[in-house]
Every structure is written in structure tokens, then in C-alpha cells.
Structure 1
Amino acid sequence: MYLFIFCYYILVSLAHFCALPILFLLSFKPKYKHSLKRRFFIPEFLKETADIYWIHACSFGEIKALQPLVESLEKTLKDNEKILLTTTTQTGFALAKESYSKCIVHYLPFESFIPFWMWNLSLKMLVLFEAEFWFMPVFCAKKKGAKTFLINARISSFKKYQKGIFFYKRFFYYIDKVFCQKKEDKRNFEALGAKDVEVYGNLKLYIKPQVTQQYSAPNQKIWVIASTHQKDSVLEEVLILEALLKVLPKNLKSCPRILFVPRHLERIKGIQQALDAILKSHNLPNLVLASEVGIEKSLHSPFVLIDKMGVLNNLYALAELVILGGSFLKGIGGHNPVEPAFFKIKLISGPYIFHQRALFNCIQNYVLCDISQLGDVLLQVDCLYPSCIVKKIKIAKIIQALRGVNENS
């Protein structure tokens, strides 16, 4: 095992060194401006003498889903104990800073930095969220005598992971317990070498969506085009708008207000240009950018581009229909359908939802369709039933496991 660890560390260090020129160029993009610097160039080293309970999650949605765990664990902490929360994306980091004021929040350094970054930590527990299979943090945590957990765990494509079974068997050797989302995940994790696996469900079902600001609704219905992505040069926003224009009434007064709420706000200018070109070709008014007139005022415009994070729930509270993106292009995997289902909105998603199947299994009255079928589905929108949540989970088991680590340490 130690030969593998030595070779693994040398390989990731070489990969890190060779990738530095590319990482340097990427660091000028707004999306990576802060995260790459702290992950690959100048990590922030912790100067903490307290006992650390470390939780790592990738990005915005995962950080948001951690709320019940963090709040419950905070209640059990002693004076000399703190929670360290790490993430890899700038949106996740910003949300963690805003939402968890009592936690220490850092970007996760790349694995070549980890042994030095963790050198002086008094670590009691490490929790990895969903598919964050980072070997060096797990190995170093076990060397420090900490308990290690993988929670909300999922495997989207077992064939892909099976190709790396040599690595995963060594990774799971250092994981004490896995809480996975469904029975299929349990079988897959055990096949990859996980020792103690329990089916738990998806933690995101436990989160009650919050409306942070109430807007005055226009007289027209509101359709939200949520969490859309770009794959290579193809924009989901373009595909969906083209489908919409085939079915929307020509009279704009009776037309639903169409709100585009894309992922990755650094794409806003490109999205605006592409959609405005399509609207112009149909002699329709340009998009209204929400940041220029305010979200509430923008709701009265036919076509709106929302260029602000964290407002989806506020819009869901007003909407009749949501078209959930990240699902009409292969390779993205879909987005969380629980939030629109909580507000009992009519829900349409694309067919590529492999990351979210466990959550879709917990709701009913949704439609999955290919982009070529979207127009036909929209023609029948009045016949659709509102989506709703039909399964919920109990968080007690996972809280008990984490509290047990704290109380017994």
C-alpha cells in the first residue's frame, strides 16, 4: 500500500507541475480567478490549534445541502473544537462564507499540497460529500487517527468507475463508512471495495427551500428556464428558446414571462448576444437584463435574463412552469428537481439526469423529454400536473454517526 501511495503522490505532483502553465492562463477567467490561485498556486494554510471536524463539498448545491449537518454538528462542539468547510468552486466558497459564519472556510488545495496543508491539523473527522474521491486527504486523515465518511454518495456510471477499480479499492480502504443514495449505489460501492455501506437517500431532500425576497407577480404567467448550461459551443438557452418560439402566442400580452436563469454567470454576455440575435430574427424585443432594471421590474418584460445567484427559489414561488436545464445536453447530468417540486410547479426536464435520478425518484408529476420533443410538450402545458415531493428522508442516522465521532473523541 505504501508503494502505491508514494507512486500516486509522485504522479499527482508531476501532473500538477505540468499543468501549471494551463492553470495560470485559466486563472484569468472570472470563473477561476480566486479558486485556482488558492487551490493550485498559493493555498491558505490553517493556523488553528483547535480540534478540527473537516467537511468537504464541491460546489454551490452541495454546500447548500450541508446545512442540516453543519448546524447539528455545531450544537455538539466543545470550546476547543471547530468545523472546517472546504470547497473547490468560487460559488461554493461564496455561499459557505455567507451561510456558515461559525465555520472555517477554505478552498481545498490540490492533492500535492495536502500533506503539508494538513501537517499541523488536529483532525478528528473528515467527511467527503457525494463523489469527492480525493485520496490524499483521506489517507492523511487516517494517519492522524481521524474517522472518515463519504456521505450522500452516488455513482453515476459504474462502468467508468470500474475502469479505475485499482485506485478505488485503495481509496475505500481508508473510508470508515459510506452513506449512499440508493440500493444500486450500495452494490456499486461494495464492488469498488467500500466496507461499511448504508443506503440513506439524498440529503438534498432534507433542505426546505427558502424564499429570501417576495416579488410582485405580473398579470402573465411565469416560466422559468433554470440552471441551463453550455456544452462545447452549444447553449441550452438557445435550444430551449428556439423550442419556445415555436409554441408561444404571437401576442406578447398573453405570452408567459420567460425568465432565463443560467448556471455560470461568466457566460451572461454570450447568452445575451445569442438569444438577442434569435429574438431579433423573430421581430421580438431583446432580453431585459435583471441587474439593469431590478428583478421585480424585469418580471414584467417578455424575455428576461437573470444575472444574479441565489434567487431561483424566489422565482419558483411565482412560477407556473420550470424547464430544468443541465439535462438537454449529454454529459452534464441534470439538476436538483426538489426545489421546484417543493413549490408545486409544473416541471419539465431533459432526459440526461444521471446525477439526479435518486431525487427524481422522490418526486412525481414531471416530464422528461428530448429537446426535439420540448415544443410538443409545451403545447400540452395546461394538461400537466404540478410536481410534488412524495418521499422524504430522516436525517437522524447520519447525524448520529457524526455526533458519535464527536462525543466519543
Structure 2
Amino acid sequence: MTETLPFSLTLYKIATQLLARFMPGVLSRRAAKGREDPTRIGERLGTAPVQRPKGKLVWIHGASVGESIVGHALAQELRQAYPGLTFLFTSGTKTSADLMARKLSAPDLHRYVPVDTPMATKAFIAGWQPDLAVFVEGEIWPNLLLATKQAGVPLALVNARMTARSVKGWRGRAKTAELLFSLFDVALPADTRTFEALSLFRSGPIGTIGNLKLAAPAPIVNAKEAKVLAGKLGNRPIWLAASTHEGEETVLLAAHAALRLGASDALLILAPRHPERAQDVEIECRKQGLVPVRRSKGQVPGAQTPVWLWDTLGELGLAMRLAPVTFVAGSLQPGIGGHNPVEPVQLGSTVVSASFVGNFLDLYQALEDQDGAVILDDHASDRIALTLAGLLGDPERREHLNEAARGVIAQGSHAMADTVAALVALLGRAKA
């Protein structure tokens, strides 16, 4: 690649080159604080202690858990269309690494994404020599993209999503945005806002709009365990607060306390987005007089237990199966952007959300337009409690919402087929 880099990108490359010598120490300190895996720091520096698998290797990068799940589902479909592929998954968080460790089997493998220094990114590409690089949703690391392109590896951006904030940020660095987004041979947006942004920032073609999260398979739920737990819980009213963040639990616990004034046996399954916050969440429960039991300790609610603190990883699907109604959190306060409502729909749990859902705006708008979810503009705990009481007491209304939501999700089924077709075409161009 011989194109002259914009000044801001040149400055970035120089700065990251200078910082490279300090990265081993920085990573070691992060590991001491529990923010990095101390046994895998070498991966962050681009080393590849495992030998590259033979044959065609497709590298799929997703920033964290959600993107990794999409990437894994995409890999399964791509393997069906193009047998014999091996997949290298990268991500940047410990939770996503743990998830992929459970999901993957040989010859596929997971590595941490290298830090974005010229040395680490070049070492990573040279070590793995992928035949195709796929970035899920849009974590943009300039040195990594440039090293990939310079090595002649086809690049794809799939399920691309930009928040309003990120679009504004890229507008302020228009020349850098144009260069980086034009590095991708294929760009497939997940929503209208991203399509419009890519139209501004990209010189190459833009694929059709389609959200891969609509096409992802439903979470696997142990049917036997679900049946046993459902039997223990009985017919009491149950709702799930899924993927809650700090500050949201206070509102939702108050809503649950209000709900229990009319339904004294109501149970809240409370699943924090980050299970390591469980101790703080338990303290908040106790402050509101709602003493919980904890899933991580193998505890099961008694007949009058008000809260089941769901502080485990990889089991949210089971909680959704147990709860007729799911409040999808991350939506009560600005700055988070909401979370994906597809999984509760797939598992038959009616979706309720607050209104701060900017990261999934098109999807929530479609659900609301088709009467497939309840979106609350009023975030007061009493209003949430009234909504929950109405839904928990009206199974016919829940089924109407669920059926409409399933229809919305079915409309996104083309996204996976379009993405796989685009990637197969790129593989046909890859070096043999």
C-alpha cells in the first residue's frame, strides 16, 4: 500500500511505534490487576506459539462477547458453504476468551487480538498468514488493518455498526475515516445509520443492510435443567432483568418491590452484565429489603425468595427460558445504548426495554412498530412495575407480542446468506 497517510494517521503510527517498547510492562501491570491473562500476554504482542494450521485459514475478529457470538455463528455457516476452512478467532476481553474456549473445538482456535503497534500487528499477520480477515461490527485498529492490507489479505467488515457518537467522531477525522474504511474489500452494514455513514467514508461498494444478530442461532439451553428448575419455581410470577449495569439495579429492584405489593410471590431473576459485580449488586438488593440467593453458589429460590442473583456466565438463555418476561437492560440510562433483544425473543420471553437503545435503534423501532416489544419512555420504577404486572397477568398479550417479534426477526434471515456469499467470493480471490 503506497497511498500517503493522513497526518493524524501518520502521527498515530509514530506514537504507537514509540509506545511499543513499553507495552510488555503495561500488559504485565494490567495482568497484575486482573485485566489481562498473565499466561497469554505474548498473544497481545503478536506472537503465535501455536503453529499455523494447514490449509485455508479465516481470521474473524470481534471486540467482545456479542461480536464473538456473531462471528462464531458466521463461521459455522461459512464452513457449510466452503468446507475445509479453519478459523482463528480474536477478541480483546477475558470474558470473550472464556466464551470461545467453551465453544471452540480443534482445529479452530482463539487468540487475543494484538495491541495496535506496528511491530505487534505485523508479527501477528506474519505468524498466522490468514487467507481472509473478517472484522465483526467495526472495532477499528489502524495498524492492524494496514498490516493486513499490506500483506495482501482480503478484508471484510461485516455486520458493521456505528453509534451516533462514533459517526460524529469519524466526521471529525474524515480523511482518516475514508482511508481506513476503504481498506475493506467488502463492507456490509447492519443498519441504516451505518449504511449512510459508510456512504460518506468509503470509496468502495457497500453491501445490503442486514443484521447478523437476527440470524444468530438461539442460545443452547439444557432442556432437562430448565424443566427441573421450572418445576421448583412453580407458577409464581417471574421476570428477568438481563445484562444490567451499575445504577440500573436500583431502579429495577424498586420496580420489583412495587410489583410484590400486588404479587407477594413475584421473583426477579437479576443478571448483571458483568458477573464480577455480583457482590455490589447483592448489597443493593439487601438495601432494598430484597435478600437474594445466588446462582453461582448453586442456590435455588424458595417460595418467598424475592431475587435470584444470576451471577454466572453463559447461562442467560436458561434464565430467559424460565422467565415469561425479560427486561433488556443497558437501556435505562444514556451512554450504554441498550442490548440485543433477539435472544429473549428466540426463547419465548416477552421483551420490555427502556428507551436508551441507540446501539440497536433500527431493531427496537421495528419491534415497536410491529407491536413486538414494549418500549418504555417513562423510566420510573412504578411505571416499570405496572408494565410488568400487566404482562405477567396476561399470557395472551405476551403471546401476541412474541409472535410479532418472531416475525421481525425472520425478516433478517437474508443477512447471513448475503454475508456468506460475499465472503465466499473473497475466498475465491485469496492466495491459494
Q: Indicate whether the TM-score tops 0.5.
A: yes
Distance 1:182 1:53 in 2: 25
Residues 337, 357 of structure 2: 8 Å contact kept:
yes
Given that residues 76 and 406 in structure 1 are in contact (C-alpha distance below 8 angstroms), is that contact kept between their aligned partners in structure 2? no
Partner of 1:346: 350
Flag the 1:189–1:3 CA change in 2: closer, same or farther, 3 A.
closer
In structure 2, relative to structure 1, the CA distance for the partners of 1:185 and 1:169 (3 Å cut) is same
CA RMSD in angstroms comes to 2.7
Shifted more, 334-343 versus 40-49: the winner is 40-49
Shift of 1:136: 2.0
Give the letter for the 2:311 counterpart. Answer: D
Structure-2 separation of matches of 1:258 and 1:404: 48
Residues 299, 188 of structure 1: alpha-carbon distance in 2 compared, 3 angstrom cutoff: farther
The 1:303–1:197 alpha-carbon spacing in structure 2 relative to 1, beyond 3 Å, is: same
- Which of 406, 411, 415 does residue 389 from structure 1 map onto? 406
Deviation, structure 1 residue 250 = 6.6
Contact 1:58 1:132 (C-alpha < 8 Å) held by counterparts: yes
8 Å CA contact 1:226, 1:260 repeated in 2: yes
Cα distance change, pair 40–248 in 1 and its aligned pair in 2 (3 A): same
Q: CA deviation at 1:60?
A: 1.3
The aligned residue for residue 403 of structure 1 is 424
CA distance in 2, matches of 1:167, 1:46: 34
Unaligned runs of 5+ in 2: 392-396
Alignment of 1:325-364 (within 5 A): 325-363=329-367, 364=371
Structure-2 separation of matches of 1:397 and 1:251 = 48
Corresponding position of 2:249: 237
Residue 331 of structure 2 aligns to a residue whose secondary structure is coil
In the other structure, the counterpart of 1:268 is 278
Structure 1: tracts of 5 or more residues without a match: none
Higher mean C-alpha deviation, range 382-391 or range 148-157: 382-391
Q: What residue number does 2:301 align with?
A: 298
1:261 Cα deviation from its structure 2 partner:
0.6
Map 1:144-163 → 2, pairs under 5 A: 144-157=151-164, 158-163=167-172
Residue 216 of structure 1 is aligned with which of 229, 235, 238?
Answer: 229
Q: Which amino acid aligns with 1:291?
A: S
Number of aligned residue pairs? 395
AA aligned to 2:210 is G
The match for 2:189 is 180
What is the SS of the residue equivalent to 1:227?
strand
How far, CA to CA, are the matches of 1:179 and 1:45 in structure 2? 33
How far has the Cα of 1:190 moved from its partner? 1.4
| Residue in 1 that maps onto 2:394 | none
SS at match of 2:110: strand
Counterpart code for 1:201: G
Distance (whole Å) between structure 1 residues aligned to residue 293 and residue 191 of structure 2: 42
- CA displacement at 1:42 relative to structure 2: 7.8
Could you tell me how far 1:336 is from its partner in structure 2?
A: 0.6
| AA of the residue aligned to 1:277 | K
Does the C-alpha gap of structure 1 residues 355 and 260 become closer, same or farther in structure 2, counting only changes over 3 Å?
Answer: same
Partner deviation per Cα, 1:134-191 (whole Å, 9 max, x = no partner): 2222222222222111000011112232122232111023111110012332111111
Match status 1:127 vs 2:139: no
Q: CA deviation at 1:25?
A: 4.4
Letter in 2 for 1:401: A
Change (3 A) 1:185 1:32: same
Q: Would you say 1:107 and 2:124 are equivalent positions?
A: no
1:308: Cα distance to partner?
Answer: 0.8
Aligned: 1:201 with 2:210: yes
Q: Are the aligned partners of 2:259 and 2:388 in contact in 1 as well (CA < 8 Å)?
A: no
Q: Which residue is 1:369 aligned to?
A: 376
Q: What's the secondary structure of 1:174's corresponding residue?
A: coil
Look up the match of 1:70: 75
Indicate the structure with greater strand content.
1
Comparing 332-341 with 369-378, which one deviates more in the overlay?
369-378
Deviates more, 1:28-37 or 1:124-133: 28-37
Q: Provide the secondary structure at the position in 2 that maps to 1:111.
A: coil
TM-score (norm 1): 0.87
The 1:308/1:198 distance shift into structure 2, 3 A limit, reads same
User: Who is 1:378 aligned against?
Assistant: 385
Structure 1 residues 163 and 17, CA gap change in structure 2 (3 angstroms):
farther
